[in-house]
Structure formats: C-alpha cells, structure tokens
Amino acid sequence: MSEQLGADRPGDGRSERRRRRTASEEKILAAAKELFLADRYDGVNLERIAERAGVSRQTVYNRFGSKEAVFREMVRRHWSTFAGPDRRLVECPVGASAEDVLRDFARSLQRFAAETDQIRFARLVVSESGRLPWIADEFYQLGKGPIAAAFADCLDELVRAGRLRCPDTHLAARQFMGLVQEFLVWPRVMAFEEEIAGQPSAEVVIEEAVRTFLARYAPAPDTPARPA
C-alpha cells in the first residue's frame, strides 16, 4: 500500500520537522497527551504543558506556535503507532488469501485499541467534538480515514486477484471495521461494563467478523480465481 497515516497535505511544510522531531518536542507531546486525555481541551494551556514537560512556555510556543498545533501534532503522533515498521497501514501481501488479510487487519485494529490510548482518545473526541468540530475532523483525517482508505485499497487488490467479489470496497471496508469495532472498541469507549463483561473474546469476534464478511463477499465456488 502506498498510503501512509497522516500523509502531509499539499504545501504542508511540517513533514521535515516531524522526521527530525527533537527530544524536547517528544517530551512536550507526551506531556500534552497526558494533560489533554485527563483534562480535555479547555482544561489545558501552554503553561501546563511546559510545566509537565519540564521546559519553558516559550519553548513550547517556539516549537508549535499554539495549543491547537500541539493538539494536532499529539493526535498525529498517536496515530503514527498504528503503522508497521515499513509505514504500511494494511498488510496485503501478493498471493495472500482474503481470509488471512482480513484476520491480520482485524488483529491490528484490536491491538491498537488494547495497547494504546485509543479508547481514551476516542472518548476525548466524542466529548469535545460537539463544541469543537475540528477535533473530530482532525482525528479522522490523521487516522481512521487513511486506515480505512488503505484497507479499501487492499480489498481492491483482492478483488482484482479474484479472491473477493466486492462491488464497493469503500463500503465493504467500513462494514468490516464495524464488525470488529462494535465489539472490541465502542463498548469500551462508552464504558458499557455489562456488555464488556459478557462479550466473547477478541479472537471469537475477529473470526466471526471474517466469516460474516466472506459470506457476503467471497467469490462463488465455481468462479475461477484470477492470476495474482
């Protein structure tokens, strides 16, 4: 896949700065994450971020310019951990079966939700986006949007290889993500403790999502597979 998470917009001069982010910038972003997740957007200012990071307010201002810029870069930093070492968002090896691709992608969604602050970030976005719609837009544009697009591209490759029969991969990509996240993400975001306690294991959820998806989009048994 060629699409990368949080790809720079045309004319965005920040890409080189991100590649050579300094130790103090990393400290600032780590401190900002702790504060924003705990106290929401309005509860944080540059002074608090600087104090938590152990730098001066002027340093934070010089590096980022504003609280909004710090927030945006913090969100970008969060989503960057979804991609693998080669910066691919979705692994779609040549010759891989649709079942294996779907299962691996579902596991990456599950790991990201379980091993990062994704649940807390989602709660932050839900609570703040009514007042500050740009927060939801930024969270989507820097993360879920590119991930869904990369997954749809992967489904396109599987369709071309004859391993899926899917007329609308944009729709299908989001259907599959919904099958996984409805169980493994949203009950935790909404703190539905009873539902969390009674739901099946992550592996069961993933296997059922794969089977459900393939029941709709797998080629008919008599359909010859196209050469990869």
Does domain 98-217 bear CATH number 1.10.357? yes
What CATH number labels 15-80?
Answer: 1.10.10.60
pLDDT at 8: 42
Give yes or no for residue 7 having a pLDDT over 60.
Answer: no
C-alpha–C-alpha distance, residues 30 and 33, integer Å: 5
Is the pLDDT confidence value at 15 over 70?
Answer: no
Instruction: Give the pLDDT band of residue 224 (cuts 50, 70, 90).
Output: low
Gyration radius of the chain's alpha carbons: 20
More confident residue, 97 or 193: 97
| Threshold 0.75, pTM exceeds | yes
Q: Tens digits of per-residue pLDDT, 96-116?
A: 999 999 999 999 999 999 999
17: pLDDT strictly greater than 70: no
Task: Give the helix ranges, DSSP H, for the chain.
Answer: 15-19, 23-39, 46-53, 57-64, 67-80, 98-115, 118-128, 133-139, 145-160, 169-184, 186-189, 193-198, 202-217
Task: Dump pLDDT digits (tens) for 139-190.
Answer: 999 999 999 999 999 999 999 999 999 999 999 999 999 999 998 888 888 8
DSSP letter string, 31-48: HHHHHHHHHTTTT--HHH
Domain assignments of the chain as residue spans, ordered by start: 15-80, 98-217
